[in-house]
Structure 1
Amino acid sequence: MSDENVGDSSGEEESLHEKHRKEKKDLLAEIQKIRHSVPKNDKKKKKEAQEQIAKLENELKDRHERELAEFKGNSISSGADQELTGKMGNLDVGNTGETKESAEVAKRRKQMAKNQKRRDKKSEKNKERDAMLKQQELDNLSGKRHLETQKIKQLLAARNLKIHEIASDGNCLYNAISHQMKNEKVTNESLRRQTSDHMKGNADEFLPFLTKLDTGDCYTPEEYEYYCDAIANTSTWGGHLEIQAISKILKCRIEIIQAEGAPIILGEDHNNSNGPIVLAYHRHAFGLGEHYNSVEPKSEIDAENL
């Protein structure tokens, strides 16, 4: 294999490792989201959450190992192809029978065919998965997610508001609030940092409400410190405690519209130019649970389309 090809392979492998590191970071955020969604004293839900977390971790680990093995197999195959081409250029095959080189060629061709078969099988699985996802989207029209969204839209319409979609990447709470604080230049990053600092500086207000899924015990000071660091440095999902902190940081009233039950209001004593902020809370938006969307005023076009 040439030095140029070695360099390309090394770069591709580093890209694969970088992808794996990002996916591990995203999984950490998803795990935090699952933990936040479990009621404090619901042992059954805690057990189910632990099993779900273990499954997600094992699936990610297995997939990373499989992708790395496939990458190394393909790299070897590519190098073998180039070496094979060079050897075939110098191959002298007589009529007396198969030479040692031709036997090696046949062996490598067989390996290449095997690799291609594996890639074809993976492609077929991806097609099946896509078909299942499309069917799931159709099923969702009569499912909890669709019905919940329709209910929230009705509640917002009564206030002449509509949903402003926020990406479900773990930053939904912070981006939803940032969307409504444009004039204050509040960003996801700055809001996460302020939330982390506020919760660290007021641990007595928040620490008693954080418990471990497996035991139900409160976080230790060290675990609480790690929790706050994750708020600032990862895309971990934010929930009620973070909203409570943000309300105090921004000195504004935050109202959460939900399909089931009355709106939740935090910071009722704040009534200034920074509020109120209105969020749409979706319990069934995605497979792993909760999601926050922002809202915005309905336009004349929206009203005509009703």
Structure 2
Amino acid sequence: MEDRQSERQRMARRHYREKKELQARIQAMKNSVSKSDKKRRKQLLLDVARLEAEMEQKHRQELEKFRESFANNSNVETVTEDLAKMDLENQPPSLSRAQRRRERRMALERERQERIAGAGMEEPLAGFRRDEEEKLSVILGAKNLEMKDIPADGHCMYRAIQDQLMFSVTVESLRGRTADYMQKHIDDFLPFFSDPETGDARSRDDFLSYCDNIVRNASWGGQLELRALSHVLQTPIEVIQADSPVVVIGEEYSKKPLVLVYLRYACSLGEHYNSVKPLEERAVAGAAPRLF
């Protein structure tokens, strides 16, 4: 059992690092190509799609090999597949670490904005946001949906889930039920609980502190919480992204999926979740869909 947990921990951490490294590489590629160079931008999109597809295939093959090695443990299969194919960042486990990380994010963002202003690169960054919105508009339009804005207040993932539910529930209740499920099923989540900056594994006590902070603080939600919520609600959760395949968590449930949109460039401090709503009649009739 320990050998199996160690192996899946190593694989999950390596997949996480590889995805981060690929995103950094893609970012550098985008920065190197002018928005006005349509030919190179078109080739860039093809190259990005190829790189992401190659990594996705590589990780999928490794996951399949892992599942074959431990075919008798279906719970390991489900959690491993759902978590390893996503790259949706989580908040650190303790309040002090959370505060330090948020401060680092804000400091890095200020430095980045200063560099951008000095180098006259406002347009490329705005271009990333436009590219993301344009891609999401196409993806959502094909599903007869459009984005519904959710406040960027640290609760965005829970508020997006709340918006999708057909019954009334508070964000506090969703956070409490999420933390309770994760604490009761700690062995399912602990192997995937690692430092988002270093990939190092964290302790059981760190995980329990992390769960406490889900309830006590406006900590950001990510893949662990989404997996827990799919079990709590016994409902699939579909996460739509601009540059990655749609991810469905909780495919074992037969209810209509809750649909969230995951954005990388919408907010100055990083990632964000929005909800969705049916496409307005004017957009369905032919007008350009509106992004919120």
TM-score range normalised by the length of the shorter chain: 0.5 to 0.7
Alignment correspondent of 1:266 = 249
Q: Percent identity?
A: 38
Query: What per-residue deviation string (whole Å, max 9, x for no partner) do you get for residues 218-271 of structure 1?
Result: 221211111001111111110111111100110011111111122101111211
Alignment correspondent of 1:23 = none
Q: Decide whether aligned partners of structure 1 residues 287 and 153 sit closer, same or farther in structure 2, where only a CA change above 3 A counts.
A: same
**1:275-290 paired onto structure 2 within 5 Å:** 275-290=256-271
Q: TM-score, normalised by structure 2?
A: 0.57
Q: Decide whether aligned partners of structure 1 residues 301 and 141 sit closer, same or farther in structure 2, where only a CA change above 3 A counts.
A: farther
Alignment correspondent of 1:147 = 131
2:182 is aligned with what amino acid? M
Alignment correspondent of 1:75 = none
Residue 226 of structure 2 corresponds to residue 179 of structure 1: no
CA-atom RMSD, angstroms? 3.3
Name the CA distance, whole Å, in 1 between partners of 2:197 and 2:239: 29
Name the CA distance, whole Å, in 2 between partners of 1:40 and 1:288: 20
1:238 is aligned with what amino acid? G
Please give the secondary structure, in 2, of the residue aligned with 1:143. helix
Q: Decide whether aligned partners of structure 1 residues 59 and 185 sit closer, same or farther in structure 2, where only a CA change above 3 A counts.
A: closer
Name the CA distance, whole Å, in 2 between partners of 1:200 and 1:267: 18
Unmatched runs of 5 consecutive residues or more in structure 2: 1-13, 25-91, 108-113
Name the CA distance, whole Å, in 1 between partners of 2:272 and 2:148: 12
**1:7-22 paired onto structure 2 within 5 Å:** none
Q: Decide whether aligned partners of structure 1 residues 164 and 203 sit closer, same or farther in structure 2, where only a CA change above 3 A counts.
A: same
CA contact (8 A) 2:145 2:279 kept: yes
- 1:53 deviates by 5.1
Alignment correspondent of 2:237 = 254
Residue of 8, 13, 17 corresponding to 1:41: 17
Moved more, 158-167 or 286-295: 286-295
Name the CA distance, whole Å, in 2 between partners of 1:258 and 1:286: 15
Name the CA distance, whole Å, in 1 between partners of 2:181 and 2:131: 37
**1:154-233 paired onto structure 2 within 5 Å:** 154-181=138-165, 183-213=166-196, 216-233=199-216
Alignment correspondent of 1:56 = 103
Q: Decide whether aligned partners of structure 1 residues 154 and 55 sit closer, same or farther in structure 2, where only a CA change above 3 A counts.
A: closer
Query: What per-residue deviation string (whole Å, max 9, x for no partner) do you get for residues 56-97 of structure 1?
Result: 25988xxxxxxxxxxxxxxxxxxxxxxxxxxxxxxxxxxxxx
Q: TM-score, normalised by structure 1?
A: 0.55
Could you say which structure has the larger radius of gyration? 1
2:233 is aligned with what amino acid? L
CA contact (8 A) 1:40 1:211 kept: no
Please give the secondary structure, in 2, of the residue aligned with 1:282. strand
1:149 is aligned with what amino acid? E
Name the CA distance, whole Å, in 2 between partners of 1:205 and 1:177: 22
